[in-house]
Structure 1
Amino acid sequence: MRQSTMAFRVMTNSTLAPKTDTQASAQSHTSANSQANDKFKALQAMGAGEFAHLNGSLIEHLSSTAQLLRKWQARTVLCDAGLYHAAYGTAGFDEKMLSLAQRNDVAILIGKEAEAIVYLYCSCDRDFTFSRLGTSNEIQFKDRFTANTFNLSQQQAENFCELTVANELELVIASD
């Protein structure tokens, strides 16, 4: 497993002149693209491109999953989580870019909420959780790292399910 040190940049905007709505919209779009690019570059620095995945490299899969979520107009935090969704390994892909001890580093990079989605996705004991889907109104979840079981909140369930569908669909699309 490759461990890497992440470098973080603080970006500032020194322009103080008022902006028109068009300028503000263009800057917001450029800023969002720049932030996404920085997150992608950090993922590359962690060595995601060095891991083989079912249909190519892990970085291609992670990037394509995040792009699919963006196409669906998912919340930004879910798109960011999609880019890092296998950072700690998963029950189906046990290679790890990062150790759980680096969760705070990931949270600094993509935000606490996105990192919490990444952890939830990576920690899923799929045999336990998937076998219980549809058996009740709530999703019973088992954390494979801690063996704790609990019911997902509505927001956790939505994030987990949407990310799971994006992940699985990306695998199908990439296999063509």
Structure 2
Amino acid sequence: MDINIRKLIELGAGKFEHLDSTLITHIESTRCRLKEWNADIPLQQAGLYYIAYLENEVNNSRAVAGLRNSVKEIVGTEVETIIYYYYAWDKVTFMHQPITSRECVFNNAITGTQESIPYLLFCQLCELYAAIAIDNIHVEETFSLEISSKYRRGLSSIMPYLSAPAKRKITIME
């Protein structure tokens, strides 16, 4: 097991405490897909650790805020920023907003506030979403058609912000 995953488990972060072979396969597949798409190293690592804040035993804003510095020490600031914003992402609102500048208005579901995030971070969140969604669609026999359809709609709405390799993969799937 990855030493950083072990450290995150010790913190009580995310679904890591429920680690099993299916979850390990999923997060490694997500990381590998991002690598195939030539994503930078922090984004690839975010694919491996993105679940650090998901469904953690104390999943409230204060608990997540308290974990952030510890998670940064383990995975690094760039990776933690990506996984934090992925967790905090109000995806429905965010994916449907018109992006007209290099700054994006981000609806933070943890704090309940709006903030501006850099366009690059927006694109990284979209790329991470795509890698996760594609992996989940590939195992859709374990997901309902409703969940698969939700992922496909999400992919369609973020297409303009994805890398060329990600777009090719999504186009092949259709």
Indicate whether the TM-score tops 0.5: yes
- Pick closer, same or farther for the CA change 1:97–1:58 going to 2, 3 Å: farther
Q: From 146, 164, 167, give the equivalent of 2:129.
A: 164
Give the C-alpha shift of residue 96 in structure 1. 1.9
Aligned residue pairs total 131
In terms of Rg, which structure is larger?
1
Q: TM-score, normalised by structure 2?
A: 0.63
Partner of 1:14: none
Partner of 1:28: none
Q: From 19, 32, 56, give the equivalent of 1:96.
A: 56
Deviation per CA, 1:108-160: give whole Å up to 9, x if none: 1110111011100000112221232xx23244320001111133312211211
**2:43–2:79 CA contact under 8 A, matched in 1:** yes
**1:125–1:142 CA contact under 8 A, matched in 2:** yes
Q: From 86, 89, 103, give the equivalent of 1:121.
A: 86
The structure where helix makes up a greater share of residues is: 2
The residue identity in structure 2 corresponding to 1:77 is P
Q: From 78, 97, 100, give the equivalent of 1:137.
A: 100
Correspondence 1:29-48 to 2 at 5 A: 37-43=2-8, 48=16
**2:16–2:51 CA contact under 8 A, matched in 1:** no
The residue identity in structure 2 corresponding to 1:120 is Y
Correspondence 1:1-176 to 2 at 5 A: 37-43=2-8, 48=16, 50=18, 57-89=22-54, 95-96=55-56, 99-100=63-64, 101-132=66-97, 135-138=98-101, 139-175=104-140
The residue identity in structure 2 corresponding to 1:172 is I
- Aligned mates of 2:57, 2:75 — CA distance in 1: 15
The residue identity in structure 2 corresponding to 1:116 is T
Partner of 1:15: none
Please list every run of 5 or more consecutive structure 1 residues that lacks an aligned counterpart in the other structure: 1-35, 90-94
- Pick closer, same or farther for the CA change 1:115–1:83 going to 2, 3 Å: same
Moved more, 42-51 or 143-152: 42-51
- Aligned mates of 1:170, 1:49 — CA distance in 2: 21
**1:50–1:57 CA contact under 8 A, matched in 2:** no
Give the C-alpha shift of residue 49 in structure 1. 6.0
- Pick closer, same or farther for the CA change 1:136–1:148 going to 2, 3 Å: same
